[in-house]
Amino acid sequence: MRILAAFAVLSVLAAPAFADEPLQLTLRDHKFIPETLDAPKGVKFKLVVKNEDKDNAEFESSDLNREKVVPAGGEITVFLGPLDAGSYEFFDDFHHATKGTLVAK
């Protein structure tokens, strides 16, 4: 029983931390603002995507394995991480010229 309790404590301590503040990304005039977004590596975090356009958009990333519609005038929350250091591309699947990069460091 002590071994199980010790294992449970170690697994909680080894779990990746969660970032305190969500990252913010805005869609305006079919552009991501900012186009390059810095993110923490090695921790879980929230990414809030706000769509200020009058058209629906779709936050999509093969690198991040995420795909979510962002309604016109609305916002979504995407849970990510923990990520290794590096660059992760994302785009608006409804407007293919709209692209951005998340850089984990």
**Residue 95, domain extent:** 19-104
In a domain? residue 11 = no
- Give me the residue label for tokens 């994302």: 90
From 105, 69, 67, select the one nearest 84 (Cα to Cα). 105
Q: Cβ distance 72 to 51 under 8 Å?
A: yes
In a domain? residue 58 = yes
Cα(81)–Cα(68) distance, rounded to whole angstroms? 16
In a domain? residue 76 = yes
In a domain? residue 99 = yes
**Integer angstrom CA distances of residue 37 from 7, 26, 41, 60, 78:** 37, 11, 12, 15, 14
Instruction: Provide the pLDDT for residue 16.
Output: 52
In a domain? residue 3 = no
In a domain? residue 13 = no
Q: What is the pLDDT of residues 52-82, one digit of tens each?
A: 999 999 999 999 999 999 999 999 999 999 9
Cα(54)–Cα(102) distance, rounded to whole angstroms? 24
**pLDDT under 70: residue ranges of the chain:** 1-19
Q: What is the CATH number of the domain that holds 55?
A: 2.60.40.420
In a domain? residue 14 = no
